[in-house]
Chain A
């Protein structure tokens, strides 16, 4: 009983349940489709068929195996998504900073930022493509636009939630504006900035895949539509779907890992929400640190 309790209280346990449930439902669906005597792989193949395709050495297209094909296209898509993501991150942060420094800029720009977010990516992508005339540039631009919004709004929300006492304190030190930004506002906003990054990272990847489908110039999206239309191997399609899903989740997790590395005070969460915190003092002796304070967020 104790072991069962221990397992079910683990953080990864709900995720495992979800994964297993999804796999069971998937397999039930696949079995039904299989029994209906149609070509099952076109609708819903069994999981082992997809996994098999990933390891299969059968050449599906121009001498490449399915896995090689997917990875090669992924390189094209993801590298552009990454460049766009970096540009969007940087410009989002800088704009948030400018909006914080100038109320006029905030009032003029902030309400209209939302509009960018509301235009469907499907509508925006062809426009960007016709403006830039280059699929690679379009990928970068679209990924940057989508990254920009959550980063800018997240960071600005961080700037705006600094408690008033912190300003009063800095005022009593006769600190200048520059010091207030470098010592208070910017470090305070970093967790909010990372929240923006965690939302933006998978979006940049999705957008980049979507832009691929506009033009047959390689990339995951191109391969996705080709694999549906041509009989290269239907499993390539499913491989891409699953690969893209995992990369999306991973990109968000990656931001979490970077946040964890950058912000040492957030690591305390790892010890869990125990009633008390113990830590080692300089001599390695256990020291009682007092009651555990609830951490923001």
Chain B
């Protein structure tokens, strides 16, 4: 995979984000982030709590506005992409709507975007098939396990055919077995849909297993302390975690991290 030939989808330049603390002082959540993300790439933002990885994701999602620098998605600003309804968001909690069936949950963004009823139903069916929940279309979220709820969440985020899939620690509340299963599922779906994915996590193994590149963020102040290319072959299976190369990469990622006074 030679990066030179690939089209850059997201350009992040000199990005900084300051928050005001209670005394009116500035807290640097992020400083001087420069990052290019290629079309169709799977990129992880990895780091401990407080390193600004979620802030970075929220800036790309236009849930926050940067105080310094810029983000361009293609030649547009995040706001324009959002208003064009081209963003897929997956949060840590499934954020499902209790009163809607699984299928109706997947249809929600399509309702917001004024899709025809038949079209909505067709898209929702195909998304549920992709995440393996066709049988549960008419169940309610509180009848599903945590892993299944997160699958519905992913199906819903893909229903709008986003240009960008932004995932904020989507699996961190799940048990290890469910997590591994969903990792494989996510890679399969990613390969099938060719989306650009930005995946926030604090789990090193998870980041290495899933990603093309791992962006390691360090705290105080939040910054990008290094990018590790993950050259493991694809498609990846769980077994790859046993290989020496995998462990080398995990070590490399760990060494890239600059904890300081963590």
Judge whether B144 and A163 touch: CB under 8 Å. Answer: no
A 146-168 binary contact with B (CB < 8 Å = 1; else 0): 00000000000000000101101
Contact B98 A296 (CB under 8 A): yes
B142 contact from A170, A190, A265, A279, Cβ within 8 A: A265
Q: Is the CB of A263 within 8 A of B61?
A: no
* Contacting residues, chain A, for B145 (C-beta < 8 A): 290-291, 293
Contact yes or no, B93 A165, CB < 8 A: yes
Residues in B whose Cβ lies below 8 Å from that of A277: 143
Number of B interface residues, CB 8 Å?
35
Tell me which residues across on chain B come within 8 A of A287, comparing CB atoms: 135-136
Is A179 close to B, CB under 8 A?
A: yes
The interface residues of chain B lying within 8 Å CB-to-CB of A257 are none
Which residues in B have their C-beta under 8 angstroms from that of A170? 112
Taking CB atoms, residues of chain A closer than 8 Å to B142 are: 265, 268, 293, 295
Contacts of B63 in A (CB 8 A): 168, 171-172
Q: Is the CB of B139 within 8 A of A172?
A: no
C-alpha gap A277/B136 in the complex (Å): 12
Which among A173, A179, A184 has the greatest number of chain B C-beta atoms within 10 A? A173
A290/B148 in contact, CB under 8 A:
yes
Contact A293 B144 (CB under 8 A): yes
A278 smallest CB distance to B (angstroms): 10
Check A165 against B95 for contact (C-beta < 8 Å). yes
A286 to chain B, nearest CB (A): 11
Q: Which of B136, B140, B146, B160 contacts A265 (CB 8 A)?
A: B140
The winner among B111, B113, B139, B146 for most chain A CB atoms within 10 A is B139
A residues apposed to B, CB below 8 Å: 163, 165-166, 168-175, 179, 183-184, 187-188, 190, 263-265, 268, 277, 279, 281-282, 287, 289-293, 295-296
Of the A-B pairs whose beta carbons lie under 8 Å apart in the complex, a sample of 16, sorted by A's number, is A165-B95, A166-B95, A168-B63, A168-B91, A171-B63, A171-B82, A172-B63, A188-B97, A188-B99, A265-B141, A289-B143, A290-B144, A293-B141, A293-B143, A293-B144, A295-B142
